[in-house]
A and B are shown apart, each in its own frame.
Chain A
Amino acid sequence: MDSALIPNGVRRCAFGKFLLGLAIVGAVLLWGVYAMLLCWFKGLNQTNMNDNYGFALWIWADLAVIALGGGAFFSGFLKYLVGKDELKHIINYAVLIGFICYSSALLILAIDVGQPLRSWFIFWHANVHSMLTEVAFCLSCYFGVLTIEFIPLILENRQINKVSFFHHLAHNMHEIMAVFAATGAFLSFFHQGSLGGVAGVLFGRPFAYREGLFIWPWTFFLFTWSAAAYGPCFTLLITKITESITGKKLVKDNVVELLAKISGWMMGTYIVAKIIDTIYWASVTAPSKGFQISQFYANNSFYGMWILIAEILFGGVIPALILIMPSGRKNPKARLLAIVLAVIGVCINRWVMVLQTMAIPVMSFDKWALYYPSWQEVATTVLPVAYGTILIMICYRYLPIFPQEAELNPAVD
């Protein structure tokens, strides 16, 4: 029925099956939209956030998707600036995932603020001292860049490409993509970093506070580095999931292994820096404010020492080692394990930097504040996942996202 739109040389499932899939994910999306509307019309009392927990699930989701979306800028950086040409086989997908992650982040932010209709004040009345201002500017600009990177992909649809204007537009945009990739890498460096700075500059919160370089706390650099390290893992993970759902091999192993290797080395260097940072913070920064590190992991079982171990050892050291070792990254199972651990690891890191920071009392007579999200928060956090899934479904079906797909899956009939 929609065969005219499907790229040449590849096969897609029946249109009915596709629609059914869309309907199922669409239902989840609608649930999220309903929760989103509740939050907009009734206000943030729909959430379980409170005055101690001003930042919660959403801000974590935001930080996490942006870190995971880091695959886009870093792959672009590697392909266009470093010259790793093999990556052109996965760059489309990296861009798409990045686009989804960043648009999701913006959507979540639009729900998260108390006065969404005034959220543009962040640009209009910008405070240059605020990390959030830096985030907002870089995030918006980078989202623009991602959109520009995403457009030629859309234009490559079989029918659109028939229009000569669009055909040439797409061609010309590809020609200058290196410029955008460079811009994107530059912008990402700052906004990933400033997201790290968001928590790191809180000198009233000894758990999050870090000293640093010039105006930036160490978390600034750690966040950029970790996004570059862990983002590609997420690209690989989503590729792997797409492959298993479609039942097709979509990207050649050498591409995957290259990206995994780079990611592994990045992760390895990052985790060394992170360990040094943690030791310095635990032995110098925190005690200078009167805190023992054990105080940060006390009082309740949820924020126990396990979370630090899970983040650094299982979410950092182990996946990095697996991916650095050729035997590890060449073994599909070990590689998958490493990728999954890495994605969890970076998510824990962002969780800790947001939620544990809020949970720990600073005044000695204050109490730990634990929180669990309301269904509205969960639904609105799931909303981007559903939206992303739908976008991937549509793009995969109608756009030539995986250049190697036709070669890897020759048509039988």
Chain B
Amino acid sequence: MKIDRRCFLSLAIGAGAGIALSPLPWKLTDDLAIWTQNWQWTPVPKRGAAKTVNSVCTLCPGGCGISVRKIDDRAVKIEGMETHPVNRGGICTLGLCGLQLLYGPTRVKGPLKRVADRGKGQWMPITWDQAIREVTEKLSAIRKSGRPQSVATMSGASSATLDALLDRFGQAYGTPNTIRFPSVDDAYHLSVSLMSGGKARVAFDFEHAGYVLSFGAGLLDGWGSPVRMFKANALWKQSGVKLVQVEPRLSRTAAKADTWISIVPGSETALALAMAHVIISESLYQAEFVESCSEGMEGFKEFVAAKYTPDIAAKMTGVDAATITMLAREFAKSKRPIAVCGRGQGTIPGSMDMFMATQVLNALVGNLNQPGGVWFVTDQTMQEWPEVEPDAAAKAGLAYPRLDGAKGMVPLKRSLPNQFVQAVASGKDYPIEALLVIESNPLYTLNDTALVKQAFSKIPFIVSFSSFMDDTAAYADMILPNPVYLERMEDVIGASGFPYPTIGLSQPVVKPQCNTRHVGDVLIQLAKGLGDTMARAFAWKDFSACLEASLGDRFKTLKKSVFQVDKSYQPPAPNEIFASERFSFIPRGIQADVAFKPIAAEGDTGGYPLMLMAYDTMRLSNGYIGNPPFLTKILEDTVLKNQDCLIEINPKSAKAAGLDEGDRAEIQTPKGKALVRIHLDDGIMPGIVAIPRGLGHEAYDVYLAGKGINVNSLVGSLSDPISGFEAAWGIRAKLSKA
């Protein structure tokens, strides 16, 4: 058959009409729509049996209870534990993000050994046997050559048992250099020792307080146990308890406070002392307490009368004298007033003058160990382990002084990572040949990052036990990953700032997701490998046995109940705790001038017209735990924009520097410089600029690395003359358009 054009056209049109009328196009259209509803690359979560597992969160020292919802073996949601006395069902931003840490891309999947230059990110996966063998050989060689003191540990572990295990490791091995990271809790503790001769954790009965005066404590910015503080604030609001925030910046705490006193940073002590002066001179103090339980009032009275009248303090603080007087009267006349300090979240201890001045105020109103007051709490203790019997090598090593210079600080177990780093960097005394880093990220969290890096570069062998590829792990020689808190069992004693003794047992919620081993298990294995006295000191089978040994009978019950709290706890009465040693308004053996001397910020005012302060926010995790993706997601675009960090500055100061919103600028301090963008904010005192802690990581994953700048790298380290604690709260700075 010959097909002519006409025939072809007819056929084509016929075929077209035929197909159009057939079900085919309709079926295809429908199938395509169904396909778009089931794209394979959009995951469909599996269904399964649901159950809830309770545990204790250890992401911060808050000690909250968590309830983890599980579907089969997957953890799908972390919620606050309803019955837990600390957080009572509430949960903070970081706690909610826990599963992103558990399943996140920043986990170290198994033991790693560095293959290229340090910090280049090239690793070789190794077996646990090899990892432990290599570390054992290294430690054994150092010990055999008679230099056990040159091995150091740096730990931010929250587990008291693990802490004790690390100390024991140092004892048996022979090194005094077991370094922990102190916080405001340690500074408070020291203030109790110095002023009251006691030994206690300082806590605050905020729930029953009648007035709260905070010297820069970020009570609603993550201070203490954050969820508990939010709940306490809600209570204050509902019952009309006044919150006064003394701070140069309108933080969230200042914003929620009834009164925000903006103050020249670093002069908070002066304000507290001037208030003390008013209280004393107007006889507003609790005479009964002062007479029966304190000493040194006369000397203190003269001291403040001479140096801290409201007029003098007004010049130092920028708060006018009338306000100071008003504040002092209000504080002293309130029922159950509490004064509290500890900048921001209180992760950096700060200088002692502030703590002592705060305690002076609390003592003047007699609100120590009273309901609604400041409590000295003795937590439940661990059961004693058999004594370590150090061998000759260990004894020789232990005879060396600690590199951080902390000594004679009984009853405190004090360590000074800032000074440790300085000693290592300067190479004084003796070198550190091996460093074990546990649950901490010193290369990021310590001030003066450049110096920390310099110190670390001098240490030939760094082992990180981090669960994550954090900044320090990335710079280590070996990584022996620890399981994360949801995969391991650990004890949690006390909750920061919480007045009742609590003990919790963090439980494994899911089975380990990576090839990890608990650092406690690894320490026991290392000790066994090192043999002799070391092996004898670490006779436990594993860390779990060790926990059982320290918790005793409580171990089994805690496994079921997760926490125990002594709600009936009463702090010792003033005459009990001060029976032998009274509260000293001026700590014994310290001149008032020295005790209450504020730490000046580094840098000269001429070259650096501005003051840089680091601030803490609930939306940025700034310690060992890096910010999980959800937290970074909820960061305001006035804090982080693309990869740029925004620096907060008062419009007046910005105008003076010729800068406007969004401008790129260079911030320079005596310690370094960095590129930032400008964010104008009326909520900050002119002359001050602020950058949040928690940005500027070099390691972790694409959700965190390279975002913003690390403010710690711009701030130098200043040691408190009394405690040696890190006391730098800011640094002079200048801004120029970039």
Contacts and interface: CB of A to CB of B under 8 A. Distances in A.
Direct contact of A and B (CB under 8 A): yes
Which secondary structure dominates chain B's binding surface?
helix
Interface in A105-127: 115, 117-118, 120-121
A87 to B, nearest CB: 33
B36 A120 contact: no
A120 B6 contact: no
A121 B34 CA distance: 12
A117 B6 contact: no
Nearest to B32: A117
Interface residues of B, number: 7
Nearest to B10: A165
Nearest to A163: B6
Nearest to A115: B36
A104 B220 CA distance: 56
B642 interface: no
B605 to A, nearest CB: 37
Contacts of A118: 33, 36-37
B14 to A, nearest CB: 14
Interface in A74-127: 115, 117-118, 120-121
12 contacts: A115-B36, A117-B32, A117-B33, A117-B35, A117-B36, A118-B33, A118-B36, A118-B37, A120-B29, A120-B33, A121-B33, A163-B6
Interface in A138-180: 163
Contacts of A115: 36
The 6 closest A-B pairs by CB, nearest first: A117-B32, A118-B33, A117-B36, A115-B36, A118-B36, A117-B33
Contacts of B35: 117
Interface of A: 115, 117-118, 120-121, 163
A115 B36 CA distance: 8
Contacts of A120: 29, 33
A310 to B, nearest CB: 30
- Name the residue in B29, B32, B33, B37 with the highest tally of chain A Cβ atoms < 10 Å from its Cβ: B33
Given A118-B37, A163-B6, 5 more contacts: A115-B36, A117-B32, A117-B33, A117-B35, A118-B33
A61 B38 CA distance: 32
A168 to B, nearest CB: 15
Interface of B: 6, 29, 32-33, 35-37
Contacts of B37: 118
Contacts of B33: 117-118, 120-121
Among A115, A118, A121, A163, chain B packs the most CB atoms within 10 A around the CB of: A118
Contacts, number: 12
A115 B39 CA distance: 12
A118 B36 CA distance: 8
Contacts of B29: 120
A163 B4 CA distance: 13
A118 B37 CA distance: 9
A32 B36 CA distance: 24
Contacts of A117: 32-33, 35-36
A121 B29 CA distance: 11
A112 B310 CA distance: 67
A117 B37 CA distance: 10
A149 B29 CA distance: 28
A352 B29 CA distance: 36
A117 B28 CA distance: 10
Nearest to B36: A117
A270 to B, nearest CB: 40
A300 B29 CA distance: 46
A143 B41 CA distance: 36
A117 B36 CA distance: 7
A115 B6 CA distance: 40
A380 B559 CA distance: 63
B128 to A, nearest CB: 43
A145 B32 CA distance: 28
A115 B37 CA distance: 9
* Central interface residue in A115, A117, A120, by most chain B CB within 10 Å: A117
B12 to A, nearest CB: 14
A86 B32 CA distance: 48
Nearest to A116: B36
A121 B36 CA distance: 13
Contacts of B32: 117
A119 to B, nearest CB: 9
A144 to B, nearest CB: 14
A118 B86 CA distance: 51
A42 to B, nearest CB: 13
A141 B664 CA distance: 55
Contacts of B36: 115, 117-118
B16 to A, nearest CB: 15
A394 B102 CA distance: 63
Nearest to B35: A117
A117 B31 CA distance: 10
A242 to B, nearest CB: 31
A115 B29 CA distance: 13
Contacts of A163: 6
A118 B35 CA distance: 10
A120 B6 CA distance: 35
A351 to B, nearest CB: 27
Nearest to A118: B33
B646 to A, nearest CB: 16
Nearest to B9: A163
A118 B29 CA distance: 8
Nearest to A121: B33
A118 B32 CA distance: 8
A163 B8 CA distance: 14
A90 to B, nearest CB: 31
Nearest to A166: B9
Contacts of A121: 33
B291 to A, nearest CB: 54
Contacts of B6: 163
A179 to B, nearest CB: 23
A115 to B, nearest CB: 5
A121 B32 CA distance: 12
A164 to B, nearest CB: 11
A32 to B, nearest CB: 23
A177 to B, nearest CB: 22
A383 B492 CA distance: 65
A2 to B, nearest CB: 17
B530 to A, nearest CB: 56
A375 to B, nearest CB: 20
Nearest to B6: A163
A136 to B, nearest CB: 16
A165 B426 CA distance: 101
A343 to B, nearest CB: 37
B583 to A, nearest CB: 49
A118 B30 CA distance: 8
